[in-house]
């Protein structure tokens, strides 16, 4: 769809003052995450793209966390006592009046709980609104299951006459299959003049934004409308089941974008990729992987079955299998897993190999280090090409403070070695099996025993000359 030209004075108002009691949650409804982002973030994306301006979000005291969550990207206005959508719009108009700059000529109004809405549809709504020179324009959905949603009532000529909320509807009106989506465009000047004429419902006591349609008809103004298919795109989130459905749909969008950009997913239905994750072309995701937060993966890397990667940078041509990586950096051509764990602050150099049950925390492993199995390296610096034997432990915590271990290049750490920090092993140093090293080991020396004693390593036997 070709984007429509924006007016310089178009503003979007996002209604987000409701608590969402059917979510059964202490967290405000619009802050529940979908693919790593609060669901309202997707609404703000669409609102900003369609209006070309910073949106205004309506909040109320029970959901004060909403105000704080959106403050970096939206203006906010308080609806002191939630009394319905019409009252929320009135709060928005008051909030807009306090902002610097010219008053907007037209308004987009969106619900903060409709995360699948896209800017193209809002562009089409604005185009219809302008073409009809309408006071109000809306998007409706034809559905066989209208449920609790407001019905769009049309006159004999097929023009929108009014919207009736389900709680106020008669039995005949409840049979109508055209429902209101909660997305509107308004002539800003007209709505400012008319917002004070809204009256509470005799049934619920709420002030409905939808009653503005009947007021526009009474003023002889046009009502613009667009009908769309019932494909779930405009469904609001009211409970955890609907949240799960929206998450599934959003994940499908995200995965399709990556697939079209050159990423291979062996089973896209089990690839869970947050909206904020960056994947280069020629990345491969095997089934049942989860990539979260600010993770970035470079070309040629395979993330193997059962892996969880959070806020981690992974270089080119790596292989990650059934492992957990958190807040770490991994350079090129690294092999990790199965069942390895990078804890926050780890930095893994080019060509490193980490195997079964290898754990690294807040440590740097230089290029070519091998830590194949059942070992823990914490708060350490490990030099290039060092071999970490099975069962090696850096005892980095004395009960009060974390202390560091430093290992030089080309060291050999024997199986079941315990390195009691703070301790330093020089380049080429070695430890015997089961050594407990609680003092520094100079370069080229061998530490053996409990506690470890220093020796010169035995000379390597000479290879026999070829016959």
Average pLDDT over residues 289-295: 98
The answer, yes or no, to whether residue 5 has pLDDT greater than 70, is no
Catalytic residues: 373
pLDDT digits (tens, 9 = 90+) for 34-93: 999 999 999 999 999 999 999 999 999 999 999 999 999 999 999 998 899 999 999 999
Instruction: Name the pLDDT band for 165 (thresholds 50, 70, 90).
Output: confident
The answer, yes or no, to whether residue 169 has pLDDT greater than 70, is yes
Show Cβ contacts of residue 364 under 8 Å, excluding neighbours closer than 6 positions.
Answer: 346, 347, 349, 380, 381, 382
Average pLDDT over residues 275-295: 98
pLDDT digits (tens, 9 = 90+) for 91-135: 999 999 988 777 889 999 999 999 999 999 999 999 999 999 999
Average pLDDT over residues 250-265: 98
- Region 240-455: CATH code: 2.160.10.10
The answer, yes or no, to whether residue 28 has pLDDT greater than 90, is yes
Domain ranges within the chain, ordered by starting residue: 10-228, 240-455
The answer, yes or no, to whether residue 8 has pLDDT greater than 70, is no
pTM of this structure = 0.90
The confidence score (pLDDT) of residue 1 equals 45
pLDDT digits (tens, 9 = 90+) for 380-432: 999 999 999 999 999 998 888 999 999 999 999 999 999 999 999 999 999 99
Instruction: Name the pLDDT band for 307 (thresholds 50, 70, 90).
Output: very high
Instruction: Name the pLDDT band for 7 (thresholds 50, 70, 90).
Output: very low
Instruction: Name the pLDDT band for 465 (thresholds 50, 70, 90).
Output: low
240-455 shares the fold of 10-228? no
Q: Which fold has domain 10-228?
A: Spore Coat Polysaccharide Biosynthesis Protein SpsA; Chain A (3.90.550)
CB 1, CB 120: distance < 8 Å = yes
* 222 vs 235: CA distance, rounded Å: 26
* 109 vs 88: CA distance, rounded Å: 10
Average pLDDT over residues 368-378: 96
List residues bridging with 332 in a β-sheet: none
What tokens were used for 344? Answer: 């926050």
Residue owning tokens 């955890």: 240
* 72 vs 67: CA distance, rounded Å: 10
């Amino acid at each position: 769809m070709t984007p429509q030209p924006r007016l310089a004075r178009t503003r979007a108002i996002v209604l987000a003052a409701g608590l969402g009691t059917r979510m059964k949650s202490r967290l405000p409804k619009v802050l529940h995450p979908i693919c790593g982002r609060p669901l309202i973030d997707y609404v703000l994306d669409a609102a900003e793209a369609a209006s070309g301006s910073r949106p205004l979000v309506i909040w109320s005291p029970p959901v004060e966390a909403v105000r704080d969550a959106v403050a970096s990207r939206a203006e906010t206005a308080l609806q002191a006592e939630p009394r319905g959508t019409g009252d929320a719009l009135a709060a928005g108009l008051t909030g807009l009046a306090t902002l610097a700059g010219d008053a907007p000529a037209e308004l987009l109004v969106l619900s903060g709980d409709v995360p699948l809405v896209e800017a193209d549809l809002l562009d089409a709504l604005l185009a219809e609104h302008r073409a009809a020179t309408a006071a109000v324009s809306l998007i409706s959905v034809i559905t066989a299951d209208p449920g609790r949603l407001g019905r769009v009532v049309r006159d004999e000529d097929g023009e929108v006459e009014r919207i009736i909320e389900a709680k106020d509807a008669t039995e005949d009106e409840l049979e109508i299959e055209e429902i209101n989506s909660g997305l509107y465009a308004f002539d800003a000047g007209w709505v400012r003049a008319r917002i004070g004429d809204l009256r509470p419902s005799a049934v619920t006591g709420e002030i409905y934004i939808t009653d503005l349609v009947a007021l526009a008809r009474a003023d002889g103004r046009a009502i613009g409308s667009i009908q769309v298919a019932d494909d779930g795109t405009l469904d609001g989130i009211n409970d955890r089941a609907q949240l799960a459905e929206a998450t599934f749909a959003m994940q499908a969008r995200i995965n399709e974008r990556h697939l079209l950009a050159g990423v291979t997913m062996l089973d896209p239905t089990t690839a869970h990729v947050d909206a904020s994750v960056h994947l280069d072309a020629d990345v491969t995701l095997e089934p049942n992987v989860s990539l979260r937060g600010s993770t970035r993966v470079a070309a040629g890397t395979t993330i193997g079955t059962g892996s969880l990667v959070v806020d981690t940078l992974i270089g080119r041509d790596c292989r990650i299998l059934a492992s957990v990586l958190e807040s770490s950096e991994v350079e090129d051509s690294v092999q990790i897993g199965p069942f390895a764990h990078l804890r926050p602050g780890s930095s893994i150099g080019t060509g490193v190999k980490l195997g079964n049950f290898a754990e690294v925390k807040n440590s740097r492993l230089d290029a070519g280090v091998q830590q194949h199995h059942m070992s823990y390296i914490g708060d350490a610096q490990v030099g290039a090409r060092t071999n970490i034997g099975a069962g090696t432990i850096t005892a980095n915590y004395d009960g009060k403070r974390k202390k560091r271990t430093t290992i030089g290049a080309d060291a050999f750490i024997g199986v079941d070695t315990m390195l009691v920090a703070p301790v330093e092993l020089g380049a080429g140093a070695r430890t015997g099996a089961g050594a407990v090293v609680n003092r520094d080991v100079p370069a080229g020396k061998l530490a053996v025993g409990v506690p470890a004693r220093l020796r010169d390593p035995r000379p390597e036997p000479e290879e026999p000359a070829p016959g």
